[in-house]
Amino acid sequence: MKSFSTLQIALGASVLVHAAVLTTRFVDPESFNRVFHDTPLEVILVNAKSNEKPDTAKAIAQVSLAGGGELEKGRATSPLPPSAFTNFGEAAEDAQRKTEALQEQQAQLLVQIKKQLTSMPPPDPKLPANDPAQAEREEKRRQLIKILAEIEKRINEENARPKKRYISPATREEVYAIYYDSLRRKIEDEGTSNFPELAGRKLYGELTMIVTVNFDGRILATEVVETSGNLTLDRRAQSIVRSTGPFEKFTDAMRRKADQLVVVSRFKFNRDETLETKLTNR
């Protein structure tokens, strides 16, 4: 090292630094990450098995299954017939049943109180005003009338409000399942045909939205309760739903139970430029 001058050492170090820089490859981290986002693999459970492995995996399964579930484009978002809402969201269904049971009990109590009032004898003017039996009877009458007024007031308030039916994955009534499936298909078709984009770039992501549908098929409200992280995509998803309406009017069977349907759905804008929706309980 002593035989080299300071200039020679500096030139040598410069050559090494430039060589290291020229052999280093810089990669756009966003583009690098996109490789993984553009080829997502969903996890599914299958009830079949084969020894042959698939050439191009479209999903992660617990066993090898080549040629299973082949479709021209993507996979079906829900099985047919459209009533395939199974054992999820039992809490929503239980709450609905409890509400209906309480309303039935309230109606029965109202009938019982009216029967008690009609069966009570009217005040006897011949008895003295301070008669203990008649005073007790009149006090009971006043209490029953007060309870009757409170129940009737509550019922009138409930009747004044629109009856809402919350559709969950556990919804079993065929009439609601068929209506929701028609609604779902229209929204998915609209979202696929008019896939959201910004400045020529497609917008991908998932979000959860509450959609309220009136009995005449009008969409009363759309609310994003779990954002995709992209406000533009959230707004485009709401626009897609609103542009899909109005839907079909409620049938007589539906109208007897509800004035409005409230649907909580998970919206997934896939990389194959399709929209998939799925009922959820948030």
Separation CA 183–CA 213 (nearest Å): 10
For the entire predicted model, the pTM comes to 0.51
Segments making up each domain of the chain, as ranges: 6-60, 91-160, 168-279
Q: Which residue is listed with tokens 């299973």? A: 68
Q: Are 230 and 177 in contact (CB under 8 A)?
A: no
User: Cβ neighbours of residue 135 under 8 Å, at least 6 residues apart?
Assistant: none
Written as one letter, the residue type at 79 is: P
Model confidence pLDDT, tens digit, residues 51-77 = 555 555 544 454 555 444 444 444 444
The domain 168-279 having CATH identifier 3.30.1150.10: the answer here is yes
| pLDDT band, very low/low/confident/very high, at 137 (cuts 50, 70, 90) | confident
Q: To the nearest whole number, what is the mean pLDDT of the chain?
A: 75
Q: Are 282 and 264 in contact (CB under 8 A)?
A: yes
Model confidence pLDDT, tens digit, residues 158-215 = 767 788 888 877 766 778 888 999 999 999 999 999 999 999 999 999 999 999 999 9
